[in-house]
């Protein structure tokens, strides 16, 4: 358990409460993957929100429960034990510090590569944690979520009348796919009431640089997304469903038709929030550019071509809230 002392509050970013009372936005698109019209609804959701909720998915609840159980076991350990897993460099255990550029939040996390060569033995020295159990739980879960992600991306391509329909999904299926997996734990923050109608930031506002992000959390709320009108709205939690984010790379590949959604997480005063996020990324050498079929001639491209390695390198030099794509936008001719 992480304890927040009064002086510590002053070091964390806060946001004035967006709502006079707890308020949720109930019009977030819900996509039933078992329905035949899903592909068109996915396209609409990506255009309007860059975000949607998925129900009737094929990810076994057993995989979710097993991974959640292992994550709780790890995060419930004393800090001195968790630190034995090694600081995030970038993979490993992180606490409060997000990235290398000064961002902090009321969060602790494990960041893992989905690459099969990832060394889980760094968890072996953490008392009561079995690295093989974590490895098996992560691999089962990620494999199922990756399969669902590819199905969604293929439905999306079909909805856009792009052929072949694996134009996005093949990047995640590539054995060199640079995808990562993150477990975020936001401990309860009892002293939050002292912040006078302000909220403590768990994870600051940002977009995800990859193609697609797939999030699942427990039943504790906290996630907010930014609408086109500039208003932040809270997303009702649902532990049985998944939430999909459009990433920066997908925004570029669709030439801005889809917008990567800016989102953040606020700390909760009473309950801890546990979320698991799969970030589906392309191979490092993959060239990212608007698809020709979505442009009206070469001159209509809004972005310069770049490799995923170039974008990733650039993104990790920025602060969370920065517009990372601005460096890769084509300047309109005056």
Take residue 15 and report the two structure tokens written for it: 């946001």
Q: Which of 116, 140, 148 is nearest to 65 (CA)?
A: 140
Q: How far is CA 210 from CA 33, 132, 251, 308, in A?
A: 22, 28, 10, 9
| Residue 108 φ then ψ, to 5° | -130, 155
Catalytic residue at 135? no
Q: How far is CA 122 from CA 59, 84, 110, in A?
A: 28, 8, 12
What is the helix (H) or strand (E) element at residue 48, kind and residue range?
helix 38-48
C-alpha dihedral, 102 to 103 to 108 to 113, nearest 10°: -90
In 159-211, beta strands by DSSP E = 180-186, 198-206
Strand, helix or coil for residue 240? coil
**How many whole angstroms separate alpha carbon 34 and alpha carbon 157?**
17
Long-range contact list for 113-120, CB < 8 A, 24+ apart? 113/180, 113/181, 114/142, 114/146, 114/177, 114/179, 114/180, 114/181, 114/278, 118/91
The count of residues in the chain is: 334
**How many whole angstroms separate alpha carbon 258 and alpha carbon 49?**
8
| Residue 131 φ then ψ, to 5° | -60, -30
Catalytic one of 216, 264, 273, 324 = 273
The residues that are catalytic are: 273
């Amino acid at each position: 358990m992480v304890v927040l002392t009064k002086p510590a509050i002053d070091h964390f970013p806060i946001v004035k409460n967006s709502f006079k009372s707890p308020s949720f936005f109930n019009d977030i698109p819900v996509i039933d993957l078992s329905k035949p019209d899903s592909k068109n609804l996915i396209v609409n959701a990506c255009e309007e929100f860059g975000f949607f909720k998925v129900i009737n998915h094929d990810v076994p609840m057993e995989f979710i429960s097993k991974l959640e159980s292992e994550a709780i076991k790890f995060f419930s350990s004393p800090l001195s034990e968790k630190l034995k897993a090694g600081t995030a460099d970038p993979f490993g255990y992180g606490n409060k510090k997000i990235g290398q550029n000064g961002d902090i939040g009321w969060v602790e996390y494990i960041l893992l590569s989905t690459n099969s060569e990832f060394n889980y033995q760094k968890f072996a020295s953490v008392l009561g944690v079995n690295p093989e159990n974590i490895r098996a739980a992560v691999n089962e879960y990620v494999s199922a979520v990756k399969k669902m992600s590819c199905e969604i991306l293929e439905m999306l391509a079909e909805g856009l009348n792009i052929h072949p329909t694996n134009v996005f999904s093949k990047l995640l299926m590539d054995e060199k796919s640079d995808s990562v997996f993150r477990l975020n734990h936001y401990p309860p923050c009892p002293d939050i009431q002292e912040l006078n109608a302000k909220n403590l930031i768990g994870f600051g506002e940002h977009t995800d640089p990859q193609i697609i992000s797939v999030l699942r959390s427990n039943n504790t709320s906290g996630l907010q997304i930014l609408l086109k009108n500039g208003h932040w709205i809270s997303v009702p939690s649902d532990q049985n469903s998944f939430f999909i984010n459009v990433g920066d790379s997908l925004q570029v590949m669709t030439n801005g038709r889809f917008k990567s959604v800016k989102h953040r997480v606020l700390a909760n005063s009473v309950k801890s929030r546990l979320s698991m996020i799969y970030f589906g990324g392309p191979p490092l050498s993959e060239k990212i550019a608007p698809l020709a079929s979505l442009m009206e001639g070469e001159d209509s491209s809004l972005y310069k071509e770049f490799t995923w390695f170039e974008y990733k390198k650039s993104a990790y030099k920025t602060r969370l809230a920065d517009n990372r794509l601005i460096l890769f936008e084509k300047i309109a001719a005056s």
